[in-house]
């Protein structure tokens, strides 16, 4: 983990910061390996300090690598402030205003706090080999669970029953769901982030199934749309448009390409088919310690893809009150294209 602190230190120099205070627990975990619920980091030239309280002193001793661990007693902010000097960056995108005000009250004389959110997230975008292996394993596990779910059948069961059984199966494999599974059949599929309900899945319906696993801290995310028997001509036509759009998005991915341009490549296929207004979300997002992180594949993205980034490619068409289709792969960006971590077929599958 020491190397990650070195990379953060270089970013501080670019911002003319003497120290960086990191309080977001996901970012703390990224830098140090700590998995507890109370921790913070101060990083600077030659300074690698990790803070926690008495409850996690022993855990920190086994988890934290390359950082000096300090246990703080009753005055959490005061204990941290003792180690702050000069211009100190803080995570303004995570720190509550009330906490910031309390922090300012305890700062030593001459110390200035500067908004510097997003610095660690910038580092997290590009994964190292160990991170990529963990994400690949989480994706493999999720695909195996989804294949198992297909064997159990959908028709005649409630959306909630299918979703809960799938999440239980993930736990049986020693992992956690990376987010609550989405199982959305028929008209429910037209809701991009539908919540599984008691509605019974009928015959001849499309079923949008969006799920992921979290294994050893790292997430996966993937979606397939299935049919419980022949869904009809319209549904098949919509499915084929989404499949082609998804392939266009995959074909556009490589290092150096703008996230906006990848989104445009997939969106053009859907626009040409007359469904532009039925695709209202971005094409994709980064995945790592969190299931939604940078970079973004969207019309509002300024991100440029780099080797080692992991992104989803998930176009969809949503016909209100009728049906929905989404197909999503999880891929690793490379210099000349991508490595696809999703293994399930994308031809429309008919299931019971």
Indicate the helix (H) or strand (E) that contains 25: helix 25-32
350 pLDDT higher than 90: yes
pLDDT grade for 352, boundaries at 50, 70 and 90 = confident
**Mean pLDDT confidence for 175-200:** 97
Domain co-membership, 49 together with 167: no
**Mean pLDDT confidence for 28-37:** 98
Domain co-membership, 31 together with 143: no
Task: Residue 117: give its domain's CATH number.
Answer: 3.40.350.10
| Domain span holding position 195 | 129-350
- 240-260 burial code (b ≥16 CB/10 A, e <16): ebbbbbbbbbbebbebebbbb
Domain co-membership, 298 together with 333: yes
Q: Of 122, 135, 120, 136, nearest to 289 (Cα)?
A: 135
Task: Residue 226: give its domain's CATH number.
Answer: 3.90.230.10
CA distances from residue 332 to 131, 132, 250 in whole angstroms, order as listed: 11, 8, 11
Domain co-membership, 88 together with 140: no
What is the edge-to-edge ordering of all strands in the sheet holding 112-115?
68-71, 47-52, 40-44, 19-22, 87-90, 112-115
- Could you tell me how many residues make up the chain? 352
Q: Are 50 and 68 in contact (CB under 8 A)?
A: yes
Domain-ending residue, one of 124, 150, 183 = 124
Domain-ending residue, one of 89, 109, 124 = 124
**Mean pLDDT confidence for 132-157:** 98
Phi/psi for 124 (5° steps) reads -65, -20
Q: Of 10, 14, 16, nearest to 88 (Cα)?
A: 16
The whole-angstrom distance between residue 269's C-alpha and the CA centroid of its chain comes to 25
**Mean pLDDT confidence for 290-319:** 98
Domain co-membership, 138 together with 236: yes
1 pLDDT higher than 70: no
Domain co-membership, 205 together with 87: no
Q: Using CA atoms, how far apart are residues 80 and 42, in angstroms rounded to an integer?
A: 8
DSSP state of 285: E
Domain-ending residue, one of 67, 101, 124 = 124
CA distances from residue 142 to 131, 169, 214 in whole angstroms, order as listed: 17, 10, 9
24 pLDDT higher than 70: yes
Q: Using CA atoms, how far apart are residues 336 and 204, in angstroms rounded to an integer?
A: 41
2 pLDDT higher than 80: no
Rounded to 5°, angle at Cα 118 from 66 and 327: 105
Q: What is the tens place of the pLDDT at every residue in 197-248?
A: 999 999 999 999 999 999 999 999 999 999 999 999 999 999 999 999 999 9
What's the 3-state SS for 223-267? EEEEECCCCCHHHHHHHHHHHHHHHHHHHHCCCCCEHHHHHHHHH
Domain co-membership, 109 together with 207: no
pLDDT grade for 59, boundaries at 50, 70 and 90 = very high
Domain co-membership, 68 together with 162: no
Which residue pairs, CB below 8 angstroms and at least 24 apart, start in 239-242? 239/206, 239/325, 239/348, 240/348, 241/269, 241/270, 241/273, 241/275, 241/317, 242/270, 242/315, 242/316, 242/317, 242/325, 242/326, 242/327
Q: Of 235, 11, 42, 261, nearest to 118 (Cα)?
A: 11
Domain co-membership, 263 together with 325: yes
Domain co-membership, 51 together with 144: no
Q: Using CA atoms, how far apart are residues 86 and 89, in angstroms rounded to an integer?
A: 10
Q: Using CA atoms, how far apart are residues 244 and 231, in angstroms rounded to an integer?
A: 19
**Mean pLDDT confidence for 318-342:** 97
Number of domain units in the chain: 2
What is the edge-to-edge ordering of all strands in the sheet holding 293-297?
293-297, 284-286, 310-313, 329-334, 337-340
Domain co-membership, 166 together with 104: no
Instruction: Quickly tell me which residue has 């996901």 as its tokens.
Output: 26
Helices 233-252 and 259-272 meet at what angle, rounded to 10? 150
**Mean pLDDT confidence for 184-188:** 98
164 pLDDT higher than 90: yes
Domain co-membership, 144 together with 76: no
Instruction: Quickly tell me which residue has 């998005």 as its tokens.
Output: 249
């Amino acid at each position: 983990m020491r190397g990650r602190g070195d990379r953060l230190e270089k970013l501080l120099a670019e911002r003319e910061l003497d120290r960086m205070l990191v309080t977001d627990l996901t970012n703390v975990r990224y830098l140090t390996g700590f998995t507890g619920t109370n921790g913070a980091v101060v990083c600077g030239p030659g300074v690698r300090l990790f803070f926690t309280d008495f409850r996690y002193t022993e855990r920190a001793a086994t988890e934290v690598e390359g950082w000096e661990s300090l246990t703080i007693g009753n005055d959490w902010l005061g204990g941290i402030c003792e180690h702050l000097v000069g211009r100190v960056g803080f995570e303004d995108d995570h720190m509550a205003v009330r906490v910031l005000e309390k922090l300012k009250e305890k700062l030593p004389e001459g110390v200035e706090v500067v908004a510097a959110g997003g610095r660690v997230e910038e580092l997290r975008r590009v994964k190292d080999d160990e991170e990529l292996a963990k994400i690949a394993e989480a994706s493999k596990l999720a695909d195996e669970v989804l294949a198992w779910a297909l064997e159990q059948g959908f028709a005649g069961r409630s959306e909630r029953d299918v979703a809960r059984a799938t999440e239980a199966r993930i736990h049986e494999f020693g992992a956690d769901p990376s987010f609550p599974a989405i199982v959305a059949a028929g008209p429910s599929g037209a809701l991009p982030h539908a919540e599984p309900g008691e509605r019974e899945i009928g015959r001849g319906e499309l079923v949008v199934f969006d799920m992921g696993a979290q294994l050893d801290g790292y997430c996966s995310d993937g979606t397939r749309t299935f049919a419980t028997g022949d869904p009809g001509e319209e549904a098949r036509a919509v499915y084929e448009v989404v499949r082609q759009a998804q392939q266009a998005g995959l074909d556009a991915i490589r290092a150096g390409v703008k996230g906006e341009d990848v989104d445009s490549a997939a969106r053009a296929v859907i626009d040409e088919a007359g469904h532009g207004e039925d695709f209202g979300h971005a094409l994709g997002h980064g995945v790592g310690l969190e299931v939604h992180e940078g970079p973004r594949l969207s019309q509002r993205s300024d991100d440029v893809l780099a080797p080692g980034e992991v992104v989803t490619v998930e176009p969809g068409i949503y016909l209100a009150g009728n049906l929905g289709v989404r197909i999503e792969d999880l891929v690793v960006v490379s210099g000349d294209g991508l490595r696809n971590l999703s293994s399930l077929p994308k031809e429309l599958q008919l299931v019971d």
